[in-house]
Structure 1
Amino acid sequence: MNAEELRRVGEFCQTPFYVFDERELADQVSRIREVLPPRTNICFAMKANPFVVGPISKLVDRLEACSTGEVRICQAAGVDPSQIVVSGVAKDPALMRELIAGDAGIGHFTCESRLQFDMLSGLARETHTHIDLLLRLSNGSQFGMDASTIMKLAAACANDPYVTIRGIQYFTGTQKTSSKRIAREVAKLDRFVAEVGRAYGCPLAEMEYGAGLPVEYFERDPKAVRQTELEPALALSRALTDTSFSGQVTIELGRRIAATCGTYVTRVVDAKQIDGQNVAIVDGGMHQITYYGHAMAMKQPPCRALTPHGDPDLRWTVCGSLCTTNDILVKQMPLGDLAVGDLVAFDKAGAYCMTEGMSLFLSRDLPAIVWRDRAGKLTLLRDRIETAPLNSVRPL
């Protein structure tokens, strides 16, 4: 969104706020599809941005929900249950019973352990309900199961009338910039899916790979951004083309889909010089905007003044409203001659930024969240929310 569009949102609601742009969200999904091989499905990891699940469900093939809350958000947004993959390392037994016994039409369940397998398959048999499972292969972390456990489970339920092992899910991390690593992981998954199919007695129908395609937050050179973001995506496409797997391939993405659709806007409430350094205090802060790999403003995130004036090379350190020396959003950024009331925007804030911060610290209000549709219409998805009642032992 350009400066004029963001200033218009600033007239629509009080700062600080997040605004998510539908056109950019749709364009980003299209850009991703253009790179991937034909017929590759896309699964959106909704933890990246739960506020866009309704619109994005029309753009992607699936959404991954990793908690009871995320399932409820999908249901409230009217997401087709068949699009939902219920995942998570700590599945709520009550929710699993509700979804399976109630025949909610959930598309798939992931399975992270033998205990989860016993719970899910037991509920299916008890309620005479058929379920499709994606068995999660661990990469050595706490998530998923090792290869031997998966092979045993596949062999054990080869003829189960209520449980179908649909495929294997494999996720190894985020912000992966190594093309060679992506190629190795896809090849490994390809081989393992074939092995499990042999143990299961028939080829598996699907393999799902959490590609972790990167978003470049701190580099401004277009060539460097292309190198960071496009090359791994092209490597992924080549690796998928080279697989022997003939079933459905699904790529799970969160950050790469949602990051560019969001902007965080905050307002300057104080501007001063300290020992010759320009310092701006804004009404937001580090509790509301976080970037992967950004700590103590050691790197410069995508930040711009929306009302630039004066010397464009004038540098500022922008600090938030928290009473901690850690609340530094950006150091020595050329923003012009900032003044009280000016708006400062942080781009690529559409993934995780609005949920990962320590939002209850100092009992400051949660920011408003605005949706801008393709026609430019603004909708308030969430108004400012007081957090003081959440931090108080007595009603306020």
Structure 2
Amino acid sequence: MINTPAYIFNIDILQERVDRIKSLIPEIELTYSIKANPFLVPYIIDMVRHLEVCSPGELSICKAASVPPVKIIYSGLLKEEWDITEAVEYGVDIITAESPRQLRLIEKVCAEKDCHAKVLLRLTSGNQFGMDQDTVVELLKTLSEYPHVDFAGIHYFSGTQKVRSAKFEADRANVHGLFDAAKELGISIDFLEFGPGAGIEYFDSPSDDKDFENFAVAMEAITDFKESVKLGIEMGRFIASTCGRFETTVKEIKPSKGVNYVIVDGGIHHLNYFGQIQGMKIPEISVSTTRPAKDKYCIVGSLCTTADVLVREVELPSLEEGDVLTFNRCGAYSITEAPNLFLSRRMPCVYAESKDMGLKLLREGMESYRFNNEYEN
């Protein structure tokens, strides 16, 4: 029995998604960015080549799940010396350098440990992540000053939820500019870890086919790289979104000024769709009831804010208290991005399921008030 509110992650759907992606890029390594959903780590280890971790906490999750270090790319905007030391001691396969300072720290740690580290230099797309082309080129010129660093290639990720070919072409041009500059220097780049940021559809009749139309556009933009370098594709949302659902129970139905407000035990502190604005867009929802009559509802959570609107107006079968609403396509980010601590309400249960495993409780519902005061710590 599922106790709501709850996230449920279907591992069979996750496997199907990964298999479809890999069938389209059989010659390309696939990396899962665990920030999209760290609860999937134990189940996805054997489905992909690498897991990208971006913080000491995410590395701790991988260690707890006994992820082989050879399967880890250690990334992240801020890396302190102790972060890098922990990653090196664990033996992670690759570390990314987002700045000259990070490269110096990697060299320092490896020199002290008398070991080497494979390093990707991250090229920026015009934000706080990575380095601009001139900085990367200067580091490439001076790699001999980092004898404990084994230059492994370039890391590039420009964003998320991209659907227009122009955005992918801009990424392509940016990376090609660096590759051309390196070639002029006689420096070989053998590997590109590329995050395409291919968008998935949450609201407009969401379907796998639409998702993979976006994926095809992204792959078309970088297909020529396959001829010159080994290519890795890094994704989080695109891999994980479809495997997750969020279940929440109708607790009260309150008509007011012509609006049927449905108050549920979930809310915006649990459910977060990229692009949702004050519940104006309608995600994919299913209902436990099969009553033939229909009505229009405004689905709201229990937070003391007018912003806690999951769906502003949606037509559903006639609802009653105790009915369960299921929000689909929330396998990525909802569980980590939604403001769980707001108003000190209970955090959802977390489950995984598959045909072979059945339903497995991963985390009991947690009282968030413990994190919001000085007395419980």
Aligned to 1:357: 338
Q: Note the residue ranges of structure 1 that are not aligned, 5 or more in a row.
A: 1-11
1:188 aligns with 2:180: no
Call closer, same or farther: CA 1:18–1:190 in 2, change over 3 Å: same
TM-score, normalised with respect to structure 1? 0.90
Question: Separation in 2 of the partners of 1:394 and 1:89?
Answer: 33
Task: Kindly provide the amino acid, as one letter, of the partner of residue 267 in structure 1.
Answer: T
Question: Separation in 1 of the partners of 2:195 and 2:63?
Answer: 24
Contact 2:125–2:174 (8 Å) recurs in 1? no
Question: Separation in 2 of the partners of 1:54 and 1:156?
Answer: 39
Question: Separation in 2 of the partners of 1:56 and 1:241?
Answer: 26
1:205 aligns with 2:190: yes
- The offset of 1:230, in angstroms, is 2.6
- The offset of 1:160, in angstroms, is 4.5
Comparing 317-326 with 238-247, greater Cα deviation is found at 238-247
1:392 aligns with 2:376: no
- The offset of 1:391, in angstroms, is 1.2
More strand by share: 2
Q: Give me the CA root mean square deviation.
A: 1.8
Task: Kindly provide the amino acid, as one letter, of the partner of residue 59 in structure 1.
Answer: M
- The offset of 1:301, in angstroms, is 1.4
Question: Separation in 2 of the partners of 1:362 and 1:238?
Answer: 46
Contact 1:68–1:92 (8 Å) recurs in 2? no
1:168 aligns with 2:168: no
Contact 2:241–2:330 (8 Å) recurs in 1? yes
Query: Alpha-carbon deviations, 1:157-185, whole Å to 9, x = none?
Result: 14754211111111111000012321342
Aligned to 1:24: 13
Three-state SS of the structure 1 residue aligned to 2:129 is coil
Aligned to 1:282: 264
Three-state SS of the structure 2 residue aligned to 1:334 is strand
Call closer, same or farther: CA 1:143–1:77 in 2, change over 3 Å: same
1:307 aligns with 2:284: no
Call closer, same or farther: CA 1:171–1:77 in 2, change over 3 Å: same
Aligned length: 377
Contact 2:225–2:231 (8 Å) recurs in 1? no
1:298 aligns with 2:298: no
Aligned to 1:382: 363
Question: Separation in 1 of the partners of 2:190 and 2:289?
Answer: 54
Query: Alpha-carbon deviations, 1:86-120, whole Å to 9, x = none?
Result: 111111321212332x3x22110000011111111
- The offset of 1:219, in angstroms, is 0.6
Aligned to 2:100: 114
Question: Separation in 2 of the partners of 1:221 and 1:352?
Answer: 17
Q: Pick from 42, 51, 54: which aligns with 1:66? A: 54
Aligned to 1:3: none
Aligned to 1:332: 313
Question: Separation in 2 of the partners of 1:386 and 1:304?
Answer: 27
Q: % of aligned pairs identical?
A: 36
Query: Alpha-carbon deviations, 1:263-303, whole Å to 9, x = none?
Result: 00000010121122211100111100000010211111112
Query: Alpha-carbon deviations, 1:4-58, whole Å to 9, x = none?
Result: xxxxxxxx2321000000010011111212223x311111110000000111111
Question: Separation in 2 of the partners of 1:304 and 1:235?
Answer: 30
Contact 2:122–2:155 (8 Å) recurs in 1? yes
- The offset of 1:233, in angstroms, is 1.5
Query: Alpha-carbon deviations, 1:327-374, whole Å to 9, x = none?
Result: 110122121111110000100010001111111111111100000023
- The offset of 1:221, in angstroms, is 6.8
Question: Separation in 1 of the partners of 2:300 and 2:246?
Answer: 14
Task: Kindly provide the amino acid, as one letter, of the partner of residue 357 in structure 1.
Answer: A
1:321 aligns with 2:302: yes
Contact 2:200–2:214 (8 Å) recurs in 1? no
TM-score, normalised with respect to structure 2? 0.95
Comparing 154-163 with 385-394, greater Cα deviation is found at 154-163
Contact 1:187–1:239 (8 Å) recurs in 2? no
Aligned to 1:45: 33
Contact 1:183–1:235 (8 Å) recurs in 2? no
Contact 2:74–2:87 (8 Å) recurs in 1? no
Question: Separation in 2 of the partners of 1:98 and 1:192?
Answer: 31
Task: Kindly provide the amino acid, as one letter, of the partner of residue 301 in structure 2.
Answer: G
Call closer, same or farther: CA 1:105–1:197 in 2, change over 3 Å: farther
Question: Separation in 2 of the partners of 1:68 and 1:374?
Answer: 33
Question: Separation in 1 of the partners of 2:182 and 2:358?
Answer: 49
Question: Separation in 2 of the partners of 1:56 and 1:175?
Answer: 22
Three-state SS of the structure 2 residue aligned to 1:243 is helix
